[in-house]
Structure 1
Amino acid sequence: MPKCYWLGWSGQFEYLERAKQRLALVVPLTLALIFLLLYLNFRRLTETLIVMLSLPFAMVGGIWLMWFMGFNLSVAVAVGFIALAGVAAETGVIMLIYLDHALEEARTAARESGRSLTRADLHSAIMVGAVERVRPKMMTVVAITAGLMPILWADGTGSEVMQRIAVPMIGGMVSSTLLTLIVIPAVYGSVKGWRMGRGPLREGAPERMAA
C-alpha cells in the first residue's frame, strides 16, 4: 500500500465484530443464570449438573441442521442457540421432576412393604418416569417445530434473519428429544445407582414444578 493509505473491513463485518464482543458477555451470563435457576429449583448440585451437561447434546442437532442448510455462525444463529438452551434446560428439568416423583413413589412402596429400595425398584421407577414424559415431550417438540417450520420456506424482508434463528431451534429439538428421553434417564439412573452403592438413597420430598 502507498504511504498514508490503509485498508480495513467495514459494513456487516464491523457489526459482527461488535456483536461478538457483546455475545462474549451475554452467553456466559445466560449459562450462569440458567445454572442458578436450576440450582434454586432442585437445591442439589447433582441434578443441576445433569441438566447443564445435557445442553451441549441438545445443541448438536442445531449444529447439524445449520451445516446442512449452509448457514454460517452469525448473531441470529447465536440467538437461536440461546433460545434452544433455554428450552432444552426446561425439558430436562421436567424430565427430572417426573423421575423424582416416580422414585419417591417407589421409595414409599418399598417402605410400606417393610424393605429397602433396591436397584430393581430404581430401574422400574426410572422406566415409569421416562415413559410418562414421552407424551408431553412429543407435544412440546411438535408444537415448536410446527411453529418454526414455515419460517424455513418464508421469503421477503427479514426472512434470512428469521431462518437463522429458527434453524438451531428446529435441529436442536430433534436431538433434545433423544437426549431427554434416553440420555437423561440413563445418567439419572447411574447417579442414583452409584449413591445406592455408597448407602441408602436420601429421602426427600418430590421436586416442585415451576409455574
Structure 2
Amino acid sequence: SNQPWLILAALVTVYIVLGVLYESFIHPITILSTLPSAGVGALLALLITNSELNVIGMIGIILLIGIVKKNAIMMIDFALVEERTGKSPLESIYRACLLRFRPIMMTTMAALLGGLPLALGKGTGSEMRQPLGITIVGGLMVSQLLTLYTTPVVYLYLDRLRLWLKRFKFSPRLA
C-alpha cells in the first residue's frame, strides 16, 4: 500500500538532486523521461515470467531509477557541453548520441549481465532474489531500446519549449 509513495518519493528526490545539479527545471525532466520505459519493461518481465511484484521486485524498480537515468545523464551532459561551444541543440544531441553510444551500451550491458545470475539462479533463496533480477533485466532491456531514441527527441522538444517560454518571460522596463 505504501509502494507507490515510495516510488514517488524516490522520483521527487532524484528530480530535486538533478535540478540542483543542472540548475534547471527542464533537464531533469528530460532525464526522468527515460524511467517509464524501465518501469514498463520491469512489469512486462515479471508478467512474462509469471512472477509477482513483491517488496524485492519494488527494490529492483527503485534500482532501475538509478541505473536507467545514468544513460540519459551521459547524453545530456555531453550535449550541454557541446552547446556551450556554440553548437545548436540538434547538433549537440546528435554528437552526444554518436559519441556516448558505446559507453552507454557498455555500462548497460554490465548491469544487465550482472542481473542475469539473480534472474536465472536456482538454489536456496533464489525465489526471493529472482524478482530483483527479473525487474532489473527486463527494465534495462526495454529502456535501453527506447531510451536511445526517446532521450534526444525529448531533449529537443523541451529545448524548444524552453525557448518558447523564454519569449513570454516578463522583463521589467527601466523608467
Q: TM-score, normalised by structure 2?
A: 0.84
Encode CA deviations 1:27-72: one digit per residue, 9 max, x unaligned: 3322221111111111100111222232112222111111110111
Q: Decide whether the 8 Å contact of 1:58 with 1:179 is kept in 2.
A: no
- 1:77 Cα deviation from its structure 2 partner: 0.8
- 1:105 aligned to which of 85, 98, 101: 85
Distance 2:10 2:159 in 1: 29
SS in 2 for 1:106: coil
**Structure 1 spans left out of the alignment, 5+ residues:** 1-19, 108-120, 201-211
Give, as a single letter, the amino acid of the residue that structure 2 aligns with 1:135: R
- State the match for 2:142 in structure 1: 175
Give, as a single letter, the amino acid of the residue that structure 2 aligns with 1:177: Q
Q: Does 1:188 align with 2:155?
A: yes
SS in 2 for 1:157: coil
SS in 1 for 2:86: helix
Q: Does 1:66 align with 2:33?
A: no
Give, as a single letter, the amino acid of the residue that structure 2 aligns with 1:170: V
Q: TM-score, normalised by structure 1?
A: 0.71
Give, as a single letter, the amino acid of the residue that structure 1 aligns with 2:52: N
Q: Decide whether the 8 Å contact of 1:59 with 1:172 is kept in 2.
A: yes
- State the match for 1:130 in structure 2: 97
Give, as a single letter, the amino acid of the residue that structure 2 aligns with 1:73: L
User: Larger C-alpha radius of gyration, 1 or 2?
Assistant: 1
Q: Decide whether the 8 Å contact of 2:46 with 2:135 is kept in 1.
A: yes
Q: Decide whether the 8 Å contact of 1:106 with 1:122 is kept in 2.
A: no
- 1:46 aligned to which of 9, 15, 26: 26
**Structure 2 spans left out of the alignment, 5+ residues:** 168-175
Number of aligned positions between the proteins: 167
Cα 1:100–1:150, aligned 2, differ >3 Å: closer, same or farther? Answer: same
- 1:82 Cα deviation from its structure 2 partner: 0.6
SS in 2 for 1:44: coil
